[in-house]
Every structure is written in C-alpha cells, then in structure tokens.
Structure 1
C-alpha cells in the first residue's frame, strides 16, 4: 500500500515539476527586458548581440528553446548563468546548503518555541498567563520576518553589537570543508569553535525567520491541544490522578501534533522561499540572495533553475511530512 502511494506521489511530482517548468519558462519569456542587452557592453554591434543570443539559444523559437532546456534538465544540465558565466547546477550546489541549514535551524527553533508556548498556554488556560501568551503570540504573528531582521540589526548589531551583522562565518576562523553544509560538518567533526562562529552569524537571521513561524505553530498546536484535552481518554487519565503536565505532554500532544506537523512541513518550504529578503539584509550567501541578483539581471537559466529547485524541495518536504503523519497516526498507518 505504501509503495503504491509513493509511486502515485512520484508520478504527481513529475507532472507538477513539468507544470512548474512550463509556467516559469513562459513567464520569463513574456516579461519585459532583454537579458542579453543587460550583460553586453554599450558599444556592442548588432553582430555581437546576435552572436550572444545564439550562444544562449535565445534566437530559437520558444518551443525549441523549451525543448532544449528541458532535455538538458533531464540530463542534469541546467544551463549556464548569463550574469555569472558559470554552470547553474554548480551555483545551486554551492548556495543551497547554506539556505537549507539556515531554514532548518530556523524551523527547529520555531518548533521548540511554538511548542513550548502552546503547552504553556494549555497549562495556563483560563488564567491571566494564557491571555499574556496569546497577546505575545499575536504580536509575533503580526510582524513579518524582514521587520524582525531589521529590528535585530538595529538592536543586536548597532545599538548593542554582540552579534556579527553579515556573512556566514568569520574568514579568520574558517577551515577546510568537505561539504557545503558547514554547520553540520563542524559539529560532526568536533570543530565547535567554528560551529559557534557559524551559529553566531546565523542567530539574527534564524530568529527573524523563526519568530513568525513559531507564532503560527503555537496557535495551531494550542487549538489542537484544547480539543484533545476534552476527549474521553484525557478525562479518564485525569480521573486516574495524572498530573496536568503529563496529561498535556504525554496524552494530548500525541493526538494534536498531526495537523501541526503538516503545517510545519508546508511552512518550511515557504521558509526557504522567505529567506530571500532576510538573506539580503544579512548578506548571507544562500540561494535567496542569489535569486534577487538573478531577477535583477534577468538571468533566465539561473531563475529557471532556482524555481525548479524550490518546486522539488516543496514536493519532497510535503512527501516526508505525509509519511511522518501516517507514521504517527495508527489509524492512518493501518487504514
């Protein structure tokens, strides 16, 4: 049964990615502006422009351009960046790990903070503490991530400069890496001083991304816990003398976490896309910052590669979340 579901999801993933490829290809071609005109010198002749357009295949009909690009993608060739003059797949492989580590750490912080707030709000229900937590949660929910980023720059980078303002690490303490997952590799290899420097550079962007997501998680999980707390199995456990904390964490949480997990998976993919502005503010070298430059320069191959990567990540994360929800819910697992 699981194999059948995975096969259907794989087919749907291929269809979805093909649809994404068609849409982004057509939208970029009908958008105003000529990428060749933006990268060539002012004194270039018509022959030079025609030669450059032919080099990137922009002189072909749209259908031919799409067929050439799609055939390359199937082979793992995403083309060459017009602005950076480098292989698109190579650029994505360099920048994507930085964004994944940033988004993964932000999601972890959001889950921990949002889960703690939801549990605390459930324990303090019908008390003053619950109203205070709901008010703080509403504030976190109302302020977008880039506003938090600017606030942290002003507070922790300028007025009280305790954290680095930009970059991924201090060049003075950098060391050789086997992979592009610098934080993960530093922790696994025991280079904790380097890991500490990486975390210091990531703290402000992580908090900026995590706080709004933590507010969403807290609200959804608290609603789920409130519904679970009035179920018969919780009432029976209370009659048996279980403490309120054990009722919430040990009994209600298991049944309330499903919708929250599904929401977190969807929000994680949006979090990766949301790093665009935050990475720009902190000059963080991820794909978000690169995406802004690609749009400004109308770098068609790079934009197409970025959108396909975002689409693939969205599909993979949602598939993983669906499997996790099934694994946590016995009724779905045996249904």
Structure 2
C-alpha cells in the first residue's frame, strides 16, 4: 500500500469515526429514559436535578451537547461515568487490555486451528473423510459464539468441572501487576503460575470466540488451496516428486492465504463485537462486559466512549489487514 492511499485511508477513518460519534450520540438521546434519574435519590429537589444535568451538560440543546462532547473528546476527555463516577478514559484503559488479550488469543486459536484443518481437508480431497469434515465445519459455522459459550459452561463448568467459569484471575494467585495486560506481563516475567491461571480462565471464552472463526477460515482457505493446487507451478512440483503435504504447505499455501487473510480481518472485527456477550456469560472483566452495564444504567458518557473505542479498533484492524495483505502481495501496494 503506497503512502498516498494510506493517508487517504486514515482520512476516511477519521470521517468514519465522526459518523460513528454522530450516530451513537443521536441514538442515545432519542432512547426513552432519563440518565439522571438512575443516579439521584428520590428525595432530590428540582434544584439538585438541575445542578446534576448542568454538570453533565444535559440541560443544553442537542447541538450544543454534541459540540461540547466532541470538543472534549478531541482534547482526550471522554467525560465522567454517570454510574461509576470515574473518568471514562481511565475505565476504558483498565478494561480494554483484558478484551484485547481475549480477542487476540481467540484470533491465534482460530488461525492455527482453521489453518491446520484447512490443510488437512485439502489433503483429504476426494476421500470418504471429506464429506464428514465438510459437515462438521458447516455445523461449526452455524453455531454462534454465545451458544458455544453456554455449551462450554455446561460441559466444562458443570458436567466436567475442570475449568473456571468466571473471572480473569483467581484471587489466590499471589501476583501484583504493573500493567492491565496481565497475560503479556506474566509471560514477560515468566510467572508460570499466573500464566496457567490466566489461560485457564481464558480457555472457554477463547474457544467460544475462536471456533466460529476457525470454521470460516477452514472453508475459505480450503477453497483457495484447492484452486491453487490446480495451478501449473503446483503440477510441475508434483511431477518433480514433491509429497502432497509439501505441495500444499510449501507451494499452494503462500498463494492461497491472501483472500483468507482479508476475510479473517473482517471476521476479527465481528469477533471483537462478539466479546460483549461472551464476556458477560463468563463474567470476564473486559470492555464488553462493562458496555452491557453501561447500557443497563444508561450511562451516556461511558457508552459513547466504549462505542468510539470499538469503532477505532474496527478501523485500525481493517487498515492493518490491508497493510499485511499488501506486504504479502506487492501487486496490491498501489491499489
């Protein structure tokens, strides 16, 4: 991707974020309910209510409220949470790392599992095992992540209670973290006890998020591999006596990974959105779980900050996917 198209993409990203800000701001204002009523006592006087509305700018017109909020966001001030009475940016900074670690762990699992199964499915082409693999993959595609989450809770939390069903880290693990990136910090410190406990708590959420992604990768990559196996350079390598596994991995895979990469980037953004429900099911202390609490409490500043954060993540992932695709395929660099 050349410099000029990249600048264009960044400009479009800012426009997109502005559109997201407008939409979420307007939608939250037309939803019935008074956020001030959620945080004030029944004995409050009209003067108390007016003072609280003035504090959060809710006594102004919609246009004035939006400009006031947008100007504050531009300065890095996302406001104060109505329900938690804390700075929104601080709350997001505390919860976002947990969601990112969970999402990237699910991405790694989905890529590894999907890639290996796609290669295996390609090697099983035109064998009795192929329809069985296709049926199982279609089943995994049809089941959404939150259904996997509930099934995993019943399986590994109730019938075979071998994994923790809630939280991020057992309180009994003696560790004091300097950053909110618990897993990365534990790996850097070689704290194997903390790493093991963190991975145990992440296992079921990662499976719930990663299984549908793996199924999508299997279908897309397998089709691309089968098409690549018909190309002349693969046929030539086969004539030279190269084994089927080497043909797939060494010759076909590098040319089949492009379309899969693009689709994986798109699906990864959907998966991050899916963390909202999955985190809630497992009581995982991430940004998605906090988003549900913010909606229940009609915490306007917190909801707006979380939605903008998710929007920025989606845009960043799409740009990163395009950059990686351009590096893998230089012909796209000027596209």
TM-score, L = length of structure 1: 0.98
Structure 2 residue aligned with 1:274 = 274
Give runs of aligned pairs for residues 213-224 of structure 1, distance below 5 A: 213-224=213-224
Compute the displacement of 1:177 (Å): 1.4
User: Equivalents in 1 of 2:178, 2:251: separation in Å?
Assistant: 44
Residues 94-137 of structure 1: CA deviation (Å, up to 9, x unaligned): 00000000000001001111111111110000111111111111
- Equivalent-residue separation in structure 2 for 1:82 and 1:174 (angstroms): 33
Query: Tell me, what secondary structure is at the counterpart of 1:100?
Result: helix
* Aligned equivalent of 2:264: 264
Q: Per the alignment, in what secondary structure is the counterpart of residue 173 of structure 1?
A: coil
Deviation at 1:332, TM superposition (A): 2.3
CA distances 1:132-158 after superposition (whole Å, capped 9, x unpaired): 111111111111111111111111111
Counterpart of 2:283 in structure 1 is 283
Task: Indicate whether 1:178 and 2:178 are aligned.
Answer: yes
* Mean CA deviation greater in 302-311 or 168-177: 168-177
Alignment partners' CA distance in 2, 1:129 and 1:309: 44
Asked if structure 1 preserves the Cα contact closer than 8 Å seen for 2:2 and 2:333, the reply is no
Q: Cα distance 1:147–1:330, how it changes in 2: closer, same or farther (>3 A)?
A: same
Q: Matches of 1:303 and 1:293 in 2, distance apart?
A: 9
Specify the alignment match of 2:241 in structure 1: 241
Question: What is the CA-CA distance between 1:302 and the residue it aligns to?
Answer: 0.5
Q: Which residue of 1 aligns with 2:115?
A: 115
CA distance in 2, matches of 1:331, 1:319: 17
SS in 2 for 1:255: helix
Separation in structure 2 between the aligned mates of residue 281 and residue 174 of structure 1, nearest angstrom: 26
Give the stretch that moved more between structures: 38-47 or 257-266: 38-47
- How far 1:238 sits from its partner (Å)? 1.1
Give structure 1 stretches of 5+ with no counterpart.
none
Of 44-53 and 185-194, deviating more is 44-53
- Against the structure 1 CA distance between its residues 72 and 137, is the aligned structure 2 distance closer, same or farther, given a 3 Å change threshold? same
Aligned counterparts of 1:229 and 1:45: Cα–Cα separation in 2 = 75
Which residue in the other structure is 1:157 paired with? Answer: 157
Which residue number in structure 2 is paired with residue 212 of structure 1? 212
Partner SS state of residue 277, structure 1? helix
Number of residue pairs matched? Answer: 335
Does residue 36 of the first structure (1) align with residue 22 of the second (2)?
no
Match of 2:193 in 1: 193
Pairwise CA distance, 1:174: 4.0
Matched with 2:16 is 16
**Separation of aligned partners in 2, 1:85 and 1:334:** 48
* Secondary structure in structure 2 of the residue aligned to 1:171: coil
Residues 1:71 and 2:102 aligned together:
no
**What residue number does 1:136 align with?**
136
- Deviations 1:261-307, CA, capped at 9 Å, x for gaps: 11111111111110111111111000110000011111111111011
- Asked if structure 1 preserves the Cα contact closer than 8 Å seen for 2:149 and 2:204, the reply is yes
